[in-house]
Amino acid sequence: SQQGEEDPQALSIQEGENATMNCSYKTSINNLQWYRQNSGRGLVHLILIRSNEREKHSGRLRVTLDTSKKSSSLLITASRAADTASYFCAPGGGGNKLTFGTGTQLKVEL
């Protein structure tokens, strides 16, 4: 297993702006998942991108994956105050173990 490292650690933007957060990992993967954690809650799965995919969309979320650079990005467009949360990436090597990092703490201000 391996740990994803999210960057930046913290991000503060205005409502309506786009938010981009990045994830880097070290070894080969089968897929990569992004999760959101609202304050005081458990993680919620957002999106999974397979290693043979380059981009995936879900609503206002856009995820890219560059396996040659071992990196992924999560873009949230037209952000809302409700998007305020921590975002975690989890590179998946094919087993059932996901290793999370410390996440990107996103704050969307009105």
User: Which residues are at the interface with other proteins (CB under 8 A)?
Assistant: 31, 33, 35, 37, 40-45, 48, 86, 88, 92, 96-103, 105
Q: Residue 19 in contact with residue 76, Cβ under 8 Å?
A: yes
- What are the residues facing 107 on neighbouring strands? 12
Distance CA 88, CA 102 (A): 7
Q: Which is nearer to other proteins, 15 or 67 (CB)?
A: 67
Contacts of residue 69, defined as CB under 8 A and 6 or more positions apart, other chains included, come to 24
